[in-house]
Amino acid sequence: MNHLHQRPGVAGRGEVSRRPDGRLFLSIDTWDDADFARLAADMLPALPRPLYTVVDEADTELRSRWEAAGFTTRRREWEYVLPTAPGPVPVPAGVTIGPPSDERALRSLEDAIRAEVSATVGWHEMPAEILPRPDVLDVTKYVVAETADGYVGLVRLAAMPRQPRIGLLAVRAGRQRRGIGRGLLRYVLDALHHNGVRAASAEVTEANAAAVALFEGAGARRIGSNLELVLR
């Protein structure tokens, strides 16, 4: 859904999109407080609840506009930059980390991980940058952890204009807390360094203490944060 409001010298646009987890997100693009309020007043009565939006926490003016429209903060996502560096990759016993060689097994692993997330915390608690699996896999963007039972963990990189983004790092529920996630992250940072890349970015939900510890333990530096707001 798109709404366009225009008057001499001022223009604004509101857009609603549905995320892969089924939630509706609203964005309103305008420089003018009055136009923002007009678009919000026009669109909100016609939209179902709950309704979500995301703002840069440092943009206090935009956040105030949303709060004036009735939105409240639901969660925070930290924006990280990770320096790449060469070094040994810690690999737990019985685990091999490297590029995937079996696309079918890779698809099966990502489907299994997504099912586990859906059955536990839910995708609405995952960073917005974790997009649905593409129909055509680019296996060069993946690193996997493999055991005798098959693939048990993965990292997927998202191509970004300035630096690669770690779009998904996940380990099967039954294999967590064994150092596999740390090994996957260390492998990726080492490989990026050898390819001349000096840094990667990532988003981590503030409430995910294990992920925060993993990334900060790898030298990640917080450079900002996004707030997910909700209107119920």
Q: What is the pLDDT of residue 10?
A: 46
On the question of pLDDT at 165 being above 70, the answer is yes
On the question of pLDDT at 6 being above 50, the answer is no
Q: What is the pLDDT of residue 62?
A: 96
Q: How far apart are CA 201 and CA 139, in angstroms?
A: 20
Closest CA to 144 of 168, 125, 123: 168
* Domain 80-224 superfamily per CATH: Gcn5-related N-acetyltransferase (GNAT) (3.40.630.30)
Per-residue pLDDT tens for 120-156?
A: 877 677 665 555 556 667 888 999 999 999 999 999 9
- DSSP assigned state of 125: G
Is 100:187 a contact under the CB 8 Å cutoff? no
Indicate the pTM of the whole model: 0.84
Q: How far apart are CA 184 and CA 92, in angstroms?
A: 11
Confidence bin at 12 (pLDDT 50/70/90): confident
Report which of residues 209 and 159 the model is more confident about. Answer: 209
| DSSP letter for each residue of 128-170 | TT-PPPPSS--GGGEEEEEETTEEEEEEEEE--SSS-EEEEEE
Over residues 180-185, the mean pLDDT reads: 96
Over residues 208-217, the mean pLDDT reads: 94
Per-residue pLDDT tens for 37-80?
A: 999 999 999 999 999 999 999 999 999 999 999 999 999 999 99
Pure H helices in the chain: 33-43, 60-68, 103-119, 180-194, 209-217
Q: How far apart are CA 166 and CA 158, in angstroms?
A: 6
Q: Which residue shows structure tokens 């909100």? A: 44
On the question of pLDDT at 5 being above 80, the answer is no
Kindly list the domain boundaries of the chain, sorted by start residue: 2-78, 80-224
